[in-house]
Structure 1
Amino acid sequence: MKYVIASFIAAIALSACTTTKTVPVVEIRERRVEVPKSLLTCSSEPVAGNVWVTQRDIARYLVRLAEAGEDCRLKLAAVRRLVVEK
């Protein structure tokens, strides 16, 4: 009789610890991101002139160099937006 009462008390005590709260299961999905080929290549760096005659020649080179760098930065930013989820 003691064992029956002890079992009954244990069952009541254990059932008091259970919860009915549901825990959502997080589903992880892997997805493949296709990056357009146009974003994978940058404008080529301009070739420095062998002989620069005027400051205008140097200025044109520097402008083309800056444009090539900006092209790469913009494309990298676009790839980052595609790949990194916010």
Structure 2
Amino acid sequence: MFLRERIQTLFKRNLHHTCTYWSVIFSFGLCIAFLGHTILYLLCQTQSTLSQITLVFFSQQFCLLIGSSIGGVFKKT
């Protein structure tokens, strides 16, 4: 019972931070989902191959991962 009350207290105390993090992750997901449906249109517009467009999406996500990791390290210090 004590653990449950402690978790509820922590959640209430950090509700603003939790909602902020959730909204950022949700908006990143929406941006990626929106771009995923436009791959065929991008192929036609840029006259690229599927592997070239896939490399662009992979590079974007990889750089996002690296940037978030570096930002997290700087935030901790």
TM-score band, normalised by the shorter chain?
0.3 to 0.5
If asked which structure has higher relative contact order (CA below 8 Å, sep 6+), I would say 1
Report which of the two structures shows the higher radius of gyration computed on alpha carbons.
Answer: 1
More helix by share: 2
Q: TM-score by structure 1 length? A: 0.34
Q: TM-score by structure 2 length? A: 0.37
